[in-house]
Each structure stands twice: as C-alpha cells, then as structure tokens.
Chain A
Amino acid sequence: MGRRFSVFNLVSVALGIAFLYLPIVILVIYSFNASRLVTIWGGWSLRWYAALLDDSALREAATNSLLIAFASATAATVLGTLAALALSRLGRFRGRLPFVAMIYAPLVMPEVITGLSLLLFFVAINLDRGFLTITIAHTTLTLCFVAVLVQSRLAGFDRTLEEAAMDLGCPPLRTFLTVTVPVIAPAIAAGFLLAFSLSLDDLVIASFTTGPGATTLPIRIYSDVRLGVKPEINAVCTIFVAVIALVVIAASILTRRAERRQQISAC
C-alpha cells in the first residue's frame, strides 16, 4: 500500500471521473435552473420540480416505470434464483452447458434483438401489448443478472451448513428456507435491486413491447426530448439518477456484506 499519489495518477483519476460524471453533473445543475431556456443559466430555483407535480403524464409514466420495475424484478429474482440453484446444485446433468449458455446469452444479446424478438413473440401468441408485456420482457432481460449474482454466492456456499442443519433434525426443505436462503439472502437482494434498476432504466426493450396506457418514464422522456428539451425533463432525470444511485449503492453494500459473510463461514 506504499504507493504514492503521483501527478499522473491524480490526473487520470480526475479525467476518468469527469468523463463519467460531467454530463450528469451538468444535467443536475440545470435541473435547478430558473430560466425557461435549457441552455441559459438564470439562477437557482426549484420551479421545475414544482412543475413536475402538475405534469400528470410524467407522473403516470414514473408510476408505470416503478410498478413494472417492481413486478419484473420480483419475477426475475424468483426465476433467476431457481436457475442459479439448478446450475450450482444439479451437478453435471445432461444439457447443463447449453442451459448455462442460454441463461447467460441475454447478458450480451443486443437489446434491439431481444426487443424485436419479444415483440414478434407477443404478436404471435396474440398478447395485447401493455403493462404485462413490458413486465415479461424486463423479466427476460434481468433474470440472467440475478442468476449470475446468486450463482456466484452459491458457488462459495459451504454445503456442510446444510448437512449440519439436517444432522440437527431439520428436513431438507426447511433447511433450505432456514439456512440456505438466509445465508444467500444478500445476493438475492442485490440481484433484486439490480433487476429493479435495469428495468427502470430500459428504453429499447420497453419501446418494442409497450402498448397504449403503458408508457414508461424513459419512453416518455425520450419522446418529449424529440420535441425539444423541456426544463422539467432535467428535474425528472435528476430524481431518476438519485433513485438509481441509491439502489446501486444498496446493492453494492449488500454484495459486500455477502462476501464478508462468505469469508467468515469459510474460516
């Protein structure tokens, strides 16, 4: 740890952070702009946040987004956890490799393709596009992230904990619920939060699978911005950034705690 902060290090860290966060910082600052013109600074004000309260279309889109994020994250957490269990517990069953590949493929699949194929699928089975189809699509998208997180936690899970529980008279299902699930809970929770923020954030897949009455916040913002950037959009985006930042921070704290627990149970 004896490495000193050289000028070079300092500059590269500053550049890196600027590259990542300068646009967001500008957006946040302009959300407090008093001026009606987005590009001209007119002093500090909260008027666009107040204006948001009157914008029912934006409010409705935000509610839709939160509901869809919650529903799809819940479904993805359950399915992803089950997939992770199958991958780490069933040993080398026939077809394990294709199963792994199929679980992880959506991680690298271009969203346009996922979106388009889901749209074709929903049309084919004659399912009306709307709230339900976006939720299903987001579950598809986020399930694999949950599976990856939970599986890495299960890989380090000490199976003797389960043996100890059974040895003490606990039947298998109760062992799973009272020992396995609590120990891997931080990973499951982190998976849920990640799925939640991914769903909140998605524009491409939502655009393909949306229908009347199910406009999500990203879709709303995108369509509004095409007609010119309104100051309210800056305000709504700032709130959005704050929510996602909180969720991501919570997820990383949970992951860290999970790792610490894992180290303890390993020693």
Chain B
Amino acid sequence: MRRGFTPWADPNAKPIVRFDAVSKRYANTVAIADLSLDIYEGEYFALLGPSGCGKTTLLRMLAGFEAPDRGRILLAGEDIVGVPPYRRPVNMMFQSYALFPHLSVFNNIAFGLKQDRMPKAEIAEQVGKMLQLVRLEGLADRKPHQLSGGERQRVALARSLAKRPKVLLLDEPLAALDRKLREETQFELMELQSRLGTTFVIVTHDQEEAMTVAHRMAVMNRGHIAQVDTPQQIYEQPNSRWVAEFVGDVNLIEGKLAASANGVVLEDAQGRRFRAGDGAQARPGAPAAFAVRPEKLKLALAPPPADTLNTISGRVVDIGYLGDVSVYKVRLDDGATMKASVTNATRLAERPIGWEDRVWLSFAPDAAVLLTA
C-alpha cells in the first residue's frame, strides 16, 4: 500500500464513486438496503461478505447490469442510474472471464476499442501494450480454448483494462485459480493497480484476498455495510460481533460492563472480571463482549502469577497443526471453548502442550476489543 494514501480521511476529497442511499429489492428479498458508500480515485477497494450479502449486486449496479430501486449512484460526480452499461466509463472483469470463444486473444482485447471506432493502428498499439502489461506477448493469435486458466485470467484482465476505464470492476477475479497462482496474481494486481493508478473495486468472499490487496474494504452483511475501513482497522478494531467473527478467528467473552476507575471492566456470567485498555464511553451495567484474537492469547502450562490480568483456565480438547501455527482449542471449566494460536517458531522442539493438558490463557488489556453491537 502506498504510504500516506488516505483520501478517505481527507474531508475535501471528492469520491470517484458514490452510492447515495441506494436500495434494491428482488421479489421479496432485500438485496441492498439504504446503502451509502464513497470510493476514492486510485483506491483498491474490496467488497467482502458472505454469499448473498449484496456485494455482487452492488458491483453490477456500478457496471449498469442492475438498477437500484431508490437512491443515486454517482460516478465522478454524475448520476449514472439509467445510463446503459455500454455508455459507462467503467469496465468489468468477470468471474467466468467471459472471453469471446470465437475471437482470438488479440480480438478479445481489441473488442472494446473497436466499439469506439479507434483507428486500426492505434488498436494494434494499445492491444500490444495490454499484452505486454499482462505478459502474454506472443499469444495474440490463440483462441481462448488454447489457453491455460491463468492465461485466460490475464486476457480477461487485459480486455477490461484496454479502454482505460475510470473504474475497473473485478468480480471474484481469482476464484478459479489454484492457491499458489492466486497469491501470485494478487500481488501482480496490486502492483498493476498502483502503477496504473486506476480505481479498482473488487468483489470477493475470500477475506485473505481482500485484506492482501485492498486499501480499504467494506464488510457487507444482508444488504448493509457492517464496516468500512482499512484491513488492519477491521481486523484489530471490528465494530461489531458480526464483523469480528466474519473476519478472522475470534474469541468472544460475553458479559456485563462493571464500574471501574481505569479502563473497561467486563464481568462474565461466572463473575470473572476482565479488563481492557480502551472503550472510554462504556456504560456500566450494559451487556457487552470482549473480542480477543487467538494469536493474542498467551497459552501456558503453569498458572501465571496471581496478579496477572485476564486469566482463564481450561483443558486442551483439540490441536490443529497448520504448519506455521498450531491452533489449540481449550474447553473452559464453564463449558465454553476458546481458541489460541501459537507460532511454531522452532522446527524440531517437541510441542510441550498436548491433549487433555490443563492450560492457562491470558491476554493483555490492550489485546481485547470492547464490542457492544
């Protein structure tokens, strides 16, 4: 990510895309509910959410394949509701790539340029540039069925970039690639995006992908935006239980807020008290939860010193070895389970913690996020 690129924090910045109170219903389900969102020029913006959350509908509204029932969609300040897809200065890369099977790679990429009646020589030049950009020189005469999955993906990307759109829309662009290729392509897309400076809006259900590539992301749920922020803020400062649980793994400690002089104190149903560093406006007596990410829990075989804050004890019921980390599932004495992950920093050492071991979990006050929503 470019350092210091934060147009969303600048009150004078004009968004290139603005959804203004947009709503859309299908028959009797709400696809988009009164949604507002600003996306800024040069951003790599991700729409993340479970299937059916409305993220694809939002993207298709930008492309012009769906129309909102209510609200406005502004592109560079102009309302584009009612403008057909073929007159919008945005282009889309489809999940299925949608390459024209009867056209060569060259003609696929040239398709959009021909619609603009660009002179032949210029088309050839622009297609050449695009082929170079996605490193497919030499494949111009192939038909789509003669390409590998990765090559097709690149042709689709080149085709959607050829007209130099104001905004490039990417609908799950990497879903069909295998893991290794997907990771490589993620970094290539980021590199490409920062080189071209084009605004990218990507739809994905893969949170790792969204967090890797995006400057900011919108986490969507049932037609609403649950939270819009940078990946780091969303992971470390989720604004609701739903976001905390949807993005990454989390332990939620439910309880009631208790009065305290410094920081926030949460008392759970068993009367255990936990302390967090921030959350100043919290009201004593209100139900709330502390969210603690598994990697922020310390796991120990011996009880920590008596004055250690935020300590719980339980038994290990499951261990998941993932290579880089191991995840320990700990059943607390009250029956709840918590997850703690430990980096496997050494290669050969025997993991000292095994099944059925009694362990003590603890977390620092600043590791917990207070959630009231």
Contacts and interface: CB of A to CB of B under 8 A. Distances in A.
B101 A164 contact: no
A169 to B, nearest CB: 4
Contact of B92 (A164, A172, A183): A164
B111 A163 contact: no
B65 A163 contact: yes
Contact of A158 (B84, B92, B98, B163): B98
B145 interface: yes
Consensus secondary structure, chain A interface: helix
Nearest to B95: A160
A183 B115 contact: no
A165 B112 CA distance: 8
Interface string B76-103: 0000000011110011101010111110
Interface residues of B, number: 26
A213 interface: no
A183 B101 contact: yes
A264 B145 CA distance: 6
A183 to B, nearest CB: 6
Contacts of B115: 168-170, 174
Given A160-B94, A171-B86, A265 B163 contact: no
B178 interface: no
Given A264-B101, A265-B101, A167 B85 contact: yes
A160 B94 CA distance: 8
Contact of B91 (A161, A167, A172): A167
Contacts of B94: 160, 163-164
B307 interface: no
A167 B91 CA distance: 6
Contact of B111 (A165, A171, A261, A264): A165
Nearest to B65: A163
Contacts, number: 71
Nearest to B92: A167
A166 interface: yes
Contact of A164 (B84, B87, B98, B102): B98
Of the listed residues B64, B65, B86, the one surrounded by the most CB atoms of chain A closer than 10 A to its CB is B86
A161 B159 contact: no
B116 interface: yes
Nearest to A260: B145
Contacts of B100: 161, 164-165, 179, 183
A166 B98 contact: no
Contact of A168 (B65, B145, B163): B163
B86 A167 contact: yes
A42 interface: no
B98 A169 contact: no
Given A168-B159, A170-B111, 11 more contacts: A160-B94, A163-B94, A164-B94, A166-B86, A167-B90, A169-B87, A169-B112, A169-B116, A171-B84, A183-B101, A264-B145
Interface of B: 63-65, 84-87, 90-92, 94, 96, 98-102, 111-112, 115-116, 144-145, 159-160, 163
6 contacts: A165-B111, A168-B112, A168-B115, A168-B159, A169-B112, A264-B101
